[in-house]
Structures are given as structure tokens and as C-alpha cells.
Structure 1
Amino acid sequence: MALSGCSQATVEQWGRWGLPEAASDRAPFIGDLWNGAWIASMVVGVIVWGLIGWAVFRYRRRSESDVPRQVKYNLPMEILYTLVPFLVIGVLFFFTVQAQNGVLAKESDDAVHKIDVIGQKWSWTFNYMEAENPAIGVDAHTVGTVEEIPTLVLPLDKPVRFKLNSADVIHSFWIPDFYFKLDVIPGRTNTFDVTATKEGTFLGKCAELCGTYHAAMVFHVEVVPEAEYNEYVKQLAADGQTGALIVPEFPSTGPKLEG
């Protein structure tokens, strides 16, 4: 009866333990880790609740004079509840490292589109580094502001290498449907590869509380066929948004045109 009032999309999301529908090739690594962690937590919870219930029932006081035998310690029990948490942590650590290696794996340099992302107070700059791509042949950029939400266009089923830099403070680049986010740190460049596997419009945002207008650091993500992506970058250049913006020496107030 409770589920009957939910939409099919909501029911399916509950089946993913709250995650949105995956839209990237790296999502299965995080999705499997997320599902496994929930299942393990439920198993541990059921065991603990069962032991608590058993102890409450088995050792309950049956009369005023019937008091369970009191002991200072139980060595086997203490060894058990010391070793089991380490076992649980070890298993979770193992699968976490596997998921981390999967999402951070790099594609061949010749096979990827390259997009340099700059986080600045309080929006995003996207540099499409396609000068060496024969199908495009030019670098282009788009800059967002608090008043104008920027759009990040990605090619469908084609790997993209993101290079992340900050112009001021720590931000975090996050597209929830990709199941992945990475910090954008001043003075440090972070990179990751991802392939968008689902065409459509998605929401991106900053996942780091970066200051007064943190809530305004959102952006749209448009996943389109590669030919449409190529034309979009060419159109940006034709509109005068040619070249790439770079991060000046930290600290700074925003990106500037390269050269």
C-alpha cells in the first residue's frame, strides 16, 4: 500500500538505494560499491538486532531472586567483537580500492576528447581543447556567471578527459548521474576520464561548501551525438569564444585568456 503511491521511477530508484539512473561508464564501480555497502550494513544490523533480542529474552529476569550470573569479562566474546569490526573494515577497504581504481582508470590519450574545467567564485568555465582534433581543429570556451548558468556539452559514448583547476578556493566538480565527483583545488590539477553513456540533459553542481554563493555553482550537462558536439565547439569559436582560458597565479579572482 505504501509503494502504490510512488511513481515507477521512484520505485526503481529505491531499488538502487537512492542513486539516480546511471549515465556514465564509471557509474557501475560506484553503484556496485554502494549496493554492496548497504547489503553488508543490513546483514550486520540483522545479526546485531538478533543477538540483542536473544540476550534480552534468554537472560531476562524471571523472578526477584533469579538474577543472571554476573561476570567481569568474557574473553571469547571480547575477541569476537574486536576482530569482526576489523574484518568488516578490511572487506570494505578492499572493494573501495577496487572501485577507486576503476573510476580513475585512464583511456588512451589519442582516444579522448579533452575539456579543461575551471571553478571560480561562483560558477564554472569550460575549455574545449580540440585544436588537435581533425574533426574540430580549434579550442573554444564558455564562461558561466551567477546570473547565467553555463552548459557543459559532452559527446555520447566517447571518452572525455577532464582537467580540473580552481581560480580561488576549493570547489568540487560533481555530476550526480555519473556517480562521480572530484575536488577542484587551487594550485593543483586533478584529472579523470569518463564516457557519457546516456543521451539527455543532466545537472552538475559544486559539492564543496565554497562560500557565500556556493548554491549558485550549478551547471547543465548536455550529452549529444559526437557530430553535434563537434558542431557546438565550432560554433563557440565562430561566436568569438575561441581559445582557452587559464588559471592565473593563485590567489586570483577568475580565469583569463591563454596568451
Structure 2
Amino acid sequence: MSTSPSPRSRKLAVTAAALVAATALAGCSEEAQRGFLPESAPGATNHTDTIMSLWNNSWIAALAVGVLVWGLLLWCVVAYRRRKGDNELPVQLRYHVPLELMYTFVPIVMVGVLFAYTSRSMGEILDTSATPDVEIEVVGKRWSWDFNYTSDDVHFSGVQAQLTGVEGVPETLPTLYLPQGELVEISLRTRDVNHAFWVPGFLMKLDMISGRTNTFQIVPEKTGVYEGKCAELCGEYHASMLFNVEVVTPEEYDQQMAALADQGNTGLRGPEYDPQYFTGNNDGEQHQEGSGN
């Protein structure tokens, strides 16, 4: 049986190579270079570039393996397909020890390398050993947010967004203010069911689990307004649990804190505002503000 590829096979191989090259060129676009992540992500915080690098390199490794496997499969299908006059089966092999060792060892090495880079990056992102410049507690509740600016002893208590389809809703959402260039420690907890704090522009999502506090530190580096939302299905109005994050200069941040104090929002909104059926309080009092209504 003939095993040499025909001219037609070579043409198909050249066509496949051209398609791969076109895909690689398409990858030179700005969207592809940031891994199709949010446009605001590059440089938004001190962690976004690390996350983007890990994301893109993981995809590059996956695509390299995919191109190799797809190429070998197509080559075998085209070059060794059955032709007219071929009445014999090719030689059948039960096993090939060197090949089997290779495709067992190589994936283990690849997974180990990806694990090492992921572990290192996650260690940097979740490191909270530094002394923060600003401390903020974000409290999720059905279906809005409370922001306790711990360092300044002021707070903001949000109410549920009304998604009517009319323009202007984003301007009415709770806004979390962050000072540009300062190390901010954000503590996350929930008043009731599980929620999740997600800011796509920061490439950051962290769960808010009942009875537990999760903490992370970031340095906001690029001023602007970023969308935030709950990423954990938390009930009927989960889709309305939206907020804004506005990164401002330190001077503007101080002005916002002073404005909250002038509005009478001094002190912090603590666990005493949690709904009684979650805290075990039996005094019969309903804390309407803490329940997100």
C-alpha cells in the first residue's frame, strides 16, 4: 500500500498552514492581545496585567497543543486515506511504548508548569500582608450593597436598583469610591445569602460566603468608572444587584468621604443590620435597610 502523500495532499496541507497563519495574524488585533478581556482592564489595578499575562499565556499553550493535534489528525486523514486499488489494511500496532510515554509525560509537565504560574500569580493577587492605606468593608445584601469606609468611619447604604429599561439607571447605582495609587484593603461579607463581588474591569471576583469574611488588596491605578455586579445567583432580583466603582484622585476621595460625613452617614453599618432570620435575633425587629429593601 502506498503511503507517500499525493500532490493533492500537499495542497491541502498548504491550505491548512495558510489558515493557521491567518488565525495567527488575526490574533494581532488589540482585542486578541488582551485576550478579549474588558477594554478597561489593562493597567486598571496593580494586578490586572499579571492576570492578563497568565490568561493569554494559558491560551497560547492550549492553542499550540490544539494546532499540533489538529495538524497531525488532518495529516493522517489526508496522507493515509484509502485510495483506489488499496485492498489491504495497514500494519496494525497494539502499542508503541516511546509514544505512550511521551503523551503521558508531556501533559504532566504542561499541567505542572501551568499550576506553578497560576499558584505564583494567585499568591501575589491574594497577598494581604502589606499595611493598607485605606480599609473598606463591602457588604452584600439582597439586593444591593453597603460600603463601610472603615478608615474614615463613614458609610454608604445602597438600595435595590430599579431596572426599567430607561436610560440613566447606572447613575443611580451605589458607588464604591477608591483612591488612585493607594493600597486599598477590601473586606467582603454578606448580610444574608451567598453573594459575589465582581468588577470585570479589575478582572477580580471573590465570593461572599455567609459567616465568612474574604479579603484582598489592590492599588487602583487608572481613574474612571467601572461596572460591578453580583456574580452569585442569590435570589429573585439577583440581576438588579449592580453597583459602580469609581477610581478618583486621593483629593477627590477625601472630598467624597467628607460629603458622606456631611450627609450624616457617620459610623459603620455592622452586623446589627443583618436580617434577624440570619443572625438568630428573636427580638422581632425587622431591619429594613439591612435587608436590601
The TM-score with structure 1 as length reference comes to 0.85
Whether the 8 Å contact between 1:199 and 1:223 is mirrored in structure 2 is yes
Cα offsets for 1:115-138 (capped at 9, x unmatched): 0010111111100012xxxxxxx4
Task: Give the letter aligned to residue 173 of structure 2.
Answer: I
Residue 106 of structure 1: how far off its partner (Å): 2.6
**CA 1:64–1:37 in 2, change beyond 3 Å: closer, same or farther?**
same
Local SS of the residue matching 2:205: strand
Whether the 8 Å contact between 2:145 and 2:158 is mirrored in structure 1 is yes
Match of 2:52 among 31, 38, 41: 31
% same residue? 43
More helix by share: 2
Residue 213 of structure 1: how far off its partner (Å): 1.2
Q: 1:144 is matched with which residue?
A: 158
Task: Quote the Cα distance in structure 1 between the aligned partners of 2:208 and 2:122.
Answer: 17
The TM-score with structure 2 as length reference comes to 0.76
More strand by share: 1
Q: Are 1:199 and 2:217 matched, yes or no?
A: no
Question: Which residues of 2 match residues 165-204 of structure 1 at below 5 A?
Answer: 165-204=189-228
Q: Are 1:241 and 2:259 matched, yes or no?
A: no
Local SS of the residue matching 1:119: strand
Match of 1:94 among 97, 110, 116: 116
Whether the 8 Å contact between 1:117 and 1:162 is mirrored in structure 2 is yes
Residue 30 of structure 1: how far off its partner (Å): 0.8
Q: 1:6 is matched with which residue?
A: none
Task: Quote the Cα distance in structure 2 between the aligned partners of 1:93 and 1:196.
Answer: 27
Task: Give the letter aligned to residue 128 of structure 2.
Answer: K
Task: Give the letter aligned to residue 278 of structure 2.
Answer: P
Residue 75 of structure 1: how far off its partner (Å): 2.5
Local SS of the residue matching 1:222: strand
Q: Which runs of 5+ in 1 are unaligned?
A: 1-10, 131-137
Residue 87 of structure 1: how far off its partner (Å): 1.8
Local SS of the residue matching 1:45: helix
Task: Quote the Cα distance in structure 2 between the aligned partners of 1:54 and 1:180.
Answer: 42
Q: 1:64 is matched with which residue?
A: 86
Q: Which runs of 5+ in 2 are unaligned?
A: 1-28, 162-171, 280-286
Task: Give the letter aligned to residue 142 of structure 1.
Answer: F
Whether the 8 Å contact between 2:226 and 2:245 is mirrored in structure 1 is yes
Structure possessing the higher radius of gyration over alpha carbons: 2
Question: Which residues of 2 match residues 1-259 of structure 1 at below 5 A?
Answer: 11-20=29-38, 21-22=41-42, 23-62=44-83, 63-106=85-128, 108-109=130-131, 111-130=132-151, 138-147=152-161, 149-247=173-271, 248=274, 251-252=278-279
**CA 1:46–1:250 in 2, change beyond 3 Å: closer, same or farther?**
farther
**CA 1:254–1:157 in 2, change beyond 3 Å: closer, same or farther?**
farther
Whether the 8 Å contact between 1:245 and 1:255 is mirrored in structure 2 is no
Runs of 4 or more above 3 Å deviation: 252-256
Residue 71 of structure 1: how far off its partner (Å): 2.4
**CA 1:227–1:107 in 2, change beyond 3 Å: closer, same or farther?**
farther
Task: Give the letter aligned to residue 24 of structure 1.
Answer: T
Give the aligned CA root-mean-square deviation in angstroms. 1.9
Task: Quote the Cα distance in structure 2 between the aligned partners of 1:14 and 1:84.
Answer: 27
Whether the 8 Å contact between 1:186 and 1:250 is mirrored in structure 2 is no
Local SS of the residue matching 1:25: coil
Task: Give the letter aligned to residue 183 of structure 1.
Answer: D
**CA 1:106–1:84 in 2, change beyond 3 Å: closer, same or farther?**
same
Size of the aligned set, in residue pairs, is: 238
